[in-house]
Every structure is written in C-alpha cells, then in structure tokens.
Structure 1
C-alpha cells in the first residue's frame, strides 16, 4: 500500500477533506482540553486525526499513533505535519504498551471496523492512567448522513440481488448507545459521555463524493467483488446529482463522540 494505491489516493484526495477531516478537527479541539498525556491513537488509518491532533495539541503532549496495518503506518507516517508523532504498528486488541501509560486513548471512526471491540476497549482501559479518558468518534446512523444514505440507496438500486452493505451496516452500523455501553461495560468502563456533532457536508461535486465513498472506504472491496467499479461509481455520482443537483453538494453530516473513563 503506497502513495499510488488507489484506495489511499481516493481517501486522501476525496474522503478526508469532505468527511474525515472536519470531524477530526472537531475531535482534536476536544482532545486539546485534556491536559493529561501522553496520547495514544488507535487504528489511525491514513492519519487524518493524527495530523489534526499534531497541529492542535500543546507541543509538550507526546503523541503515539498506531494502526494494525504496517503498510498504512508507512503511508500515514510519511504525510506532512506528523514530524512530532511516533508511529507504531499495533493491534488495538493486543497493544504493546505497559499498563497505565497514557492519559488519552483516541480513535477516529476506526472503532466501527474493529473485529473485536470489547477486547480493544479492554486494552484501551488497561493502558490508561487513573483519570484518563478514552475518546472515540462514530459516524451516526446513516439516516442522519444524507449523502451516505443516498449512496447506500444507489448501491441497493444497482445491485438489487446482493447490495453492498458497508456504508449502512459497517461505517454507519455502530450507532446504538446501549450497544456501545454494553461493550464499554464489558471492558470495565463505568462512565461514558455521548456527544452528537453535526457539521456541514461540502463536496466540490457529486463525482468527488462518489469517488471518496466508493473508492476510499470498505465499499471499494464490495464493488470490486461485483465487477465494474467505474460503472458503479458513475451510477453513484448520478444518484447524488439527482438528489443534490449539479455542482457542489452542500448537506449535513453527523457523528458521535464518546468519552469514557472508569
């Protein structure tokens, strides 16, 4: 996975500016209010939150960013704006850090794709100092994210016999507070604060939004398994134009920020 990798190109060029970046900036501002460090980031992926945190948190705050994919670590660590960050490959369910090491454990949207969330939450709690916070963000239900909702409808229309489900069931599939609470409680957390964040969604064009979601997320693999990816992206872009019009897309998007301790 290199800078020329098509998924990373779509993620960096399209998905990060329109979806990941605005929520990462909001989360970095929230993290900057926590004075206890160091900060450990889990499942940093392409490092969108990492870069926001590096530019927002005080210079004295140590930042360690991790991802289970060593190739993703190589990509993200080579991006501008992360010179102060220490990068390391790490499985969130088996962290290579001592107990009670970090004042903040953070994760930006990565929780939704973790195969064993309770184990990852247990590990997060293990490496937290007394009084530390585990802060993570989750995309809200797809009905509160009109662009993603439109794209999921488009996928169902194009592939009626076997519609791709990543957007609805994975990216926007971990939205029940009771379910999140159960996973946190299983890991030993005793206090969790939930904050909904609604931001403007702005994309330069329907094509940009379709490329970001279809090629920069796990939806890409589902489309590749079904054949003509380019045709599916074009179909998705046309569905967005029908709903939001030609030119730039201006809509809304919603996520939740969870801050847990215990």
Structure 2
C-alpha cells in the first residue's frame, strides 16, 4: 500500500470524525495523554493529528498544542472541530517538521507512524523538536490476528472488492514488530524506550451503524458506494460477521491492540 492511499479527501475527513473518532480514536487519545502526563502549560505536538482529537482533549487540560498533519483536508476538519480552542495547526511532513529544536515537552502520534514513508527520519525529527527530558508517546496497531477491527475488513474486502483494497486496510497493521519499533527510537537517541502491547476494549453501541461508518470512512469508500445495494449489503454483512463473538446483540465490543511506545529524550 502506498502512503497516499490513506490521505482521505473530500467528505472523508468529516466521515472519519463522525464515525471512527468516537469509537476508536477518543479512547486512545485518553490513554496516550495519560501516558504523556503533561502539566498545565506544557507544549505538545500532536503529530499526524488527523481531525485533532488528541489536540482537542489536551487543550481542555490547559496544554498548549500544535497539531501537524500532511493532509490539508484533515487539518481543515481539525480546525472546524476545535473552533474556539487555543490550538494551532500546521501542514507538515513528519520527516521535516517546521518547528525549532527543543520546542515541545511531548510528541504524541496516534496510529500514524506505520504510514510514514521515512520512519527513521520522522522519529529523528521528533527527537530534535523535543526538549531534554521530553517524551514521545506513539501507538501503532499490532497484527491482524490481535485486531478484529482490521481483520474483519481485510477478509470482507478481499472477497467483495479486491486485494489492493484489502491491503490498504492490512497496512494499518503494517508496522507491528515491537523490536523493530523499539530500535527505531533507540537509534534516534531516545533513552529509555518502552514498547508495550496495550489492549483497550472498544465499544460501538450500534454495530450496524458502526460498520456503515467503516465502509464510508475508508480509502475504498468510492468503490463501495459504486456497488449495487445488494453487494453493499453483502459486504456489510460479512464485515459484521468477521467480528465473530465480539458482536453482542446490537452492539460491538472488541479488543484493539497496538504497540505503545513511551520514549524519553535524555535530560
């Protein structure tokens, strides 16, 4: 999968915010912010900020936040969602951040690193823009076998769409090795570096509506919209069936398992 396949455009950022952020990205924003343990007045870079859920939650805690993302559509949606909050946003390449050295107390990156074309360059840039003693907190999905959310989509897309669309979802789990992940941060100069498999149980009260959201907020959404109503219904049914025992009546309750990195820049 190319990095560009997850550069959502048009109405996609709005769908991402509406359907995916409440179920997936809000609980993880809370988790990552708790690990960053920022004090009021601290400065945070929300890297690959998407529609800005980490930035918005941090700002409510008195943290000064800058969100950075490569995608102008996501940034526009982030600005809409955070209207009235003291947050700045910048379009930026993760491997060439437009910030002075030593500016931030922390960098948080939620489900972004696996899509960066230059991962060593991006992590080195995070090291550069952190103050001594600053902290990088990242999370990236582990393998499909641990993540029914992506596994269900990959299986159904392979049947109803094609291998390319399935591989676009598979790429969410494309940087899952904890040793490789830890080495990336150690090589950039971080010390100590912790890489931990962390599980959150995520909840969608209306399973059918959530699967509709998955179908609408994916790089394959145009392909899905072009299907016949019968084909879309079959795809929807197979995604939902792919959650297996995580489907409880009307609701979904499923584990979501990434590697969480907490890495410090030496003081």
TM-score (ref. length: structure 2): 0.83
Greater shift in the superposed pair: 195-204 or 91-100:
195-204
Q: How does 1:1-262 map to 2 (within 5 A)?
A: 5-33=10-38, 37-55=42-60, 57=61, 59=62, 61-80=63-82, 83-159=85-161, 164-168=166-170, 170-220=171-221, 223=223, 228=227, 233-242=232-241, 243=244, 244=247, 247-262=250-265
* Map of 2:3 onto structure 1: none
For the aligned residue pairs, the C-alpha RMSD in angstroms reads 2.7
CA–CA distance in structure 1, aligned partners of residues 127 and 16 of structure 2: 30
* Map of 2:5 onto structure 1: none
Q: Secondary structure at the match of 1:125?
A: helix
Greater shift in the superposed pair: 234-243 or 88-97:
234-243
Distance change (3 Å), C-alpha of 1:258 and 1:36 = farther
Distance change (3 Å), C-alpha of 1:87 and 1:163 = closer
Specify every segment of 5 or more residues in structure 1 that has no aligned partner in the other structure, as ranges: none
Size of the aligned set, in residue pairs, is 253
- Is the 8 Å Cα contact of residues 106 and 135 (structure 1) preserved in structure 2? yes
Pairwise CA distance, 1:52: 2.0
CA–CA distance in structure 2, aligned partners of residues 53 and 233 of structure 1: 38
Specify every segment of 5 or more residues in structure 2 that has no aligned partner in the other structure, as ranges: 1-8
